[in-house]
Amino acid sequence: MNRNLVVPLFSLVLLSGCMVAPRMGGGLEIVPILPVVVEVDADSYYAHGGYHYFYNDDRWYYSETRDGRRMELPRSHWPRETRRPGWDRH
């Protein structure tokens, strides 16, 4: 395989499981995609890949800290199923 194609192809494979988003202070951050099934805690939070995710009003948000500024997570990164202790399915 041509060496010039290896690096872009490898980068594409690595980034397919992440989302690149702008940071508040400038630059970019990489946000991981949520697993297929997510079980949130009683406060509707879920921690994964160094980020905190918040499920509210049938939407997903993420932040670098639990109490930090939340950004809406693109629908392509949402789990297929969201569970909460005491819920059957949602």
Q: What is the pLDDT of residues 35-89, one digit of tens each?
A: 999 999 988 999 988 899 999 999 999 998 999 899 999 898 999 999 987 765 5
Over range 2-15, report the average pLDDT. 52
What gap in Å lies between CA 2 and CA 31, rounded to an integer?
30
| Pairing, β 81-83 against β 37-39 | parallel
